């Protein structure tokens, strides 16, 4: 399983939110490039970057910082937040980003996803951010009537490379991922699902490994690697693609 560290950009700084609340932004570092280098040095095989300003404003805001991050590390970078036009995605790819994550536009303009997948095959993912099973949009400030499972099924037919599923109620809470929702989502389609939100311990990652067989291929880790609850290097060794042996989930309280 791919363990993917997250960098959330707000005002050019590396922050974490609590349940997507911009009023509860906690600054962890004012040098996101150095943070990116640290995660790459610790064995990350991919970096997840969210332009929080962009998600709110509907256009890329932190492009300069993203370009510096992509130039500073040798691992693929995927970026989401405010990508609602072909031009905004092309702009990202031009500065070295490997994969673009479409969120709000997947709900409001699904034809854009079709167009992007045709133009950039294998490089478009869709971020599905769910609140009580329904898709949230515009930086999680609004909740649509669209069911997460319905949107996932629709997007899977459009040619997207992966679905990144975030349970908003778990995000930033360190409460553990929503395994049941992930299981339900992954079972509905053939494309990879990347879990996001709530991962707080190595035990949580081990429990996610149990879902690899149905298509949950990665986990995005945010707050826990900044607080030290998860050591990224240890997590990559324990559950990453190069792990020495299969690991098995337990009740979530301990690792045998």
**47: helix, strand or coil:** strand
Report the catalytic residues: 8, 129
Beta carbons of 177 and 186 less than 8 angstroms apart: no
Beta carbons of 152 and 189 less than 8 angstroms apart: yes
Taking the CA atoms of the chain, what radius of gyration do you get in angstroms? 17
Closest CA to 22 of 36, 9, 40: 9
180: exposed, middle or buried (Cβ count in 10 Å: 0-12, 13-18, 19+): exposed
Closest CA to 104 of 87, 127, 79: 127
Q: Note the helical H segments in 136-189.
A: 148-156, 179-186
How far apart (Å, rounded) are the C-alpha atoms in residues 176 and 125?
23
**H or E segment to which residue 142 belongs:** strand 142-147
Strand partners, 70: none
């Amino acid at each position: 399983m791919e363990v993917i560290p997250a960098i959330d950009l707000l005002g050019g700084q590396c922050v974490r939110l609590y349940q997507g609340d911009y009023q509860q932004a906690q600054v962890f570092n004012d040098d996101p490039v150095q943070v990116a280098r640290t995660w790459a040095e610790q064995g990350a095989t991919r970096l997840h970057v969210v332009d929080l300003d962009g998600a709110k404003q509907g256009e890329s805001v932190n492009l300069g910082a993203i370009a510096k991050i992509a130039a500073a590390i040798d691992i693929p970078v995927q970026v989401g937040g405010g990508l609602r036009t072909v031009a905004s995605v092309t702009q990202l790819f031009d500065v070295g980003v490997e994969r673009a994550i479409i969120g709000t536009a997947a709900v409001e303009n699904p034809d854009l996803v079709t167009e992007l997948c045709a133009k950039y095959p294998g490089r478009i993912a869709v971020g599905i951010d769910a609140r009580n099973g329904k898709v949230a949009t515009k930086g999680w400030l609004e909740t649509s009537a669209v069911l997460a499972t319905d949107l996932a099924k629709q997007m899977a037919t459009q040619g997207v490379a992966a679905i990144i599923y975030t349970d908003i109620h778990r995000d930033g809470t360190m409460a553990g991922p929503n395994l049941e929702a992930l299981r339900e989502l992954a079972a509905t389609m053939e494309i990879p699902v990347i879990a996001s939100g709530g991962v707080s311990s190595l035990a949580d990652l081990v429990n996610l490994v149990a879902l690899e067989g149905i298509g949950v291929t990665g986990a995005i880790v945010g707050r826990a690697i900044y607080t030290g609850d998860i050591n990224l290097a240890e997590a990559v060794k324990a559950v990453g693609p190069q792990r020495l042996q299969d690991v098995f989930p337990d009740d979530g309280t301990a690792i045998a």
